[in-house]
């Protein structure tokens, strides 16, 4: 059965330290039984509860905290880890790479905890407060309409997707990192690679405003318009405003009207080119290793800022796709949307920090995601102490969900088609209501398919 949406969519600190010490002294065979001789490939049907660990510095103190956190994650039931690695820490001078911190972490997790590892490649750059960046300078960083940098609380700027030198540098780093990992004798235990661009560790534009108005972005927007329209008279007719020269056109502050659609379309193209560049590097260096993309959201109010409105196009080259749902989102909807719009790809969701929701909410997030076809649920922004405090949540979730395979879509699952052009304009609210009504009638899953629009955006 195919249904069409009424809207058409467009375009205890010491105890923890003791735990870690015991793990190191007793060895993996005694403290953590070797449940698997080889890392299972994420394209099997095993479900995974994946714990994300940040690497904000390469100091000894940071490594000690990492080991405590990783050991606790293994204790409470996680069956995979995702290790965050910062480009700005590994390459402080052009072409000079230091992967020793990553190697130490991989050695510990693989040989002491016996867990597979996904590698989270953070492509933000050095905070300006720490001094000049010798690899990618500020002229190649993203800025909003007023010139402010795309930075979160970490102070790490984003590269401009329209800057060919910046994307080339990022791609070269990804190549070097993946080649290094694949040269290890235990490289087969790399679970998957996941590149991210934004300060929120997602593969999208910074959502806290409209980006990018850097000089490279402005210049390439003008060149893109010239290619798109051929002559300025055609552009003037389409936009309904007179222009005499592509060189004088400035990108708009929002996505209103024909110029706003063109601005969004250009941003989408720049993001996709950057994504494809880094994924291409991973494919070349590790042809058989899965690649994951992680979005903050592909359907929330900030999707136009993120440039994720037409997310299937961004995901062409990926094997695995995550969203980072807010705790109170309808996770059945988000998984049905990913699964329906990305056939053949593995999908996942994320549990955010311990202060954002209680156990009941997070249990629902994990359960609904697995029930609706997720193979992975990652957990981020926790630490060893918070894991210990709420260990029953994860022990219960591991017991309940990890012993069963990935939920398969029944052959009679109905399809709900939404059109990208309308969604770009008015959002997904009507489609989400229709999806909820379908589930309320006892339908277990719905294939929500984002149908590529035929309007001016695409």
> DSSP readout, 313-336?
HHTTT-SEEEE---TTS-HHHHHH
Is 205:129 a contact under the CB 8 Å cutoff? no
Could you give the residue ranges of the DSSP H alpha helices within 250-390?
A: 257-285, 303-306, 311-314, 331-341, 359-371, 384-389
Sign of the CA dihedral 369, 371, 377, 383? Answer: positive
Q: Is the pLDDT of residue 160 over 50?
A: yes
- The tens digit of pLDDT for each residue in 218-258 reads 999 999 999 999 999 999 999 999 999 999 999 999 999 99
Structural domains in the chain plus CATH codes: 13-213+251-407 (3.20.20.80)
Higher per-residue confidence, 15 vs 362: 362
pLDDT recorded at residue 60: 80
According to DSSP, residue 188 is labeled: G
Q: Is the pLDDT of residue 322 over 90?
A: yes
Instruction: Give the residue among 116, 98, 120 at the shortest CA–CA distance from 106.
Output: 116
Rounded CA separation 413/2 (Å): 9
Structure-token pair, residue 398: 């591991």
Mean pLDDT check: name the lowest of 20-24, 244-248, 409-413.
20-24
pLDDT recorded at residue 458: 47
Residue 399 exposed, middle or buried by CB count within 10 Å (0-12, 13-18, 19+) = exposed
What residues contact residue 2 under an 8 Å CB cut-off, 6+ apart? 414, 415, 417
Structure-token pair, residue 15: 């105890």
pTM above 0.85, yes or no: yes
Is 370:405 a contact under the CB 8 Å cutoff? no
Torsion angle (degrees, nearest 10) of CA 382, 388, 393, 396: 130
């Amino acid at each position: 059965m195919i249904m069409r949406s009424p809207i058409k969519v467009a375009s205890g600190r010491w105890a923890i330290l003791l735990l870690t010490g015991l793990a190191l002294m007793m060895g993996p065979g005694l403290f953590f039984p070797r449940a698997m001789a080889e890392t299972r490939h994420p394209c099997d049907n095993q479900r995974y509860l994946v714990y994300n660990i940040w690497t904000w510095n390469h100091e000894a103190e940071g490594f000690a905290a990492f080991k405590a956190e990783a050991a606790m994650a293994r204790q409470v039931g996680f069956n995979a880890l995702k290790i965050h690695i910062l480009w700005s820490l590994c390459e402080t001078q052009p072409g000079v790479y230091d992967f020793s911190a990553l190697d130490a972490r991989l050695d510990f997790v693989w040989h002491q905890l016996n867990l597979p590892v996904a590698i989270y490649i953070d492509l933000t750059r050095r905070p300006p407060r720490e001094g000049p960046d010798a690899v990618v300078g500020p002229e190649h960083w993203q800025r909003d309409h007023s010139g402010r940098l795309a930075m979160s609380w970490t102070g790490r700027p984003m590269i401009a997707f329209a800057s060919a030198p910046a994307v080339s540098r990022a791609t070269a780093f990804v190549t070097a990192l993946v080649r290094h990992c694949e040269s290890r004798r235990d490289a087969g235990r790399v679970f998957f690679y996941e590149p991210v661009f934004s300060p929120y560790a997602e593969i999208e534009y910074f959502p806290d405003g409209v980006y990018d108005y850097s000089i490279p972005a402005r210049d390439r927007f003008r060149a893109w318009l010239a290619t798109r329209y051929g002559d300025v008279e055609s552009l003037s007719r389409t936009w309904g405003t007179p222009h005499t020269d592509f060189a004088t056109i400035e990108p708009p502050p929002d996505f209103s009207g024909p110029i706003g659609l063109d601005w969004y379309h250009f941003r989408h193209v720049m993001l996709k080119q950057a994504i494809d560049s880094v994924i291409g590097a991973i494919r070349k260096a590790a042809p058989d290793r899965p690649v994951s993309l992680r979005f903050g959201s592909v359907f929330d109010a900030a999707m136009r800022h993120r440039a994720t409105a037409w997310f299937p196009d961004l995901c062409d080259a990926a094997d695995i796709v995550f969203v980072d749902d807010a705790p109170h989102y309808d996770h059945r909807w988000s998984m049905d949307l990913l699964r329906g719009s990305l056939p053949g790809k593995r999908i996942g969701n994320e549990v955010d920090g311990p202060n954002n929701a209680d156990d009941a909410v997070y249990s629902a997030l994990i359960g609904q995601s697995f029930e609706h076809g997720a193979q992975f649920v990652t957990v981020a922004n926790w630490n060893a102490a918070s894991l210990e405090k709420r260990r029953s949540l994860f022990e219960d979730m591991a017991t309940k969900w990890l012993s069963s395979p990935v939920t398969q879509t029944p052959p009679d699952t109905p399809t709900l088609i939404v059109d990208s052009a309308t969604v770009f304009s008015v959002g997904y609210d009507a489609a989400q209501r229709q999806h909820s009504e379908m589930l309320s009638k006892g339908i277990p899953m719905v294939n929500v398919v984002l149908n590529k629009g035929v309007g001016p955006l695409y």
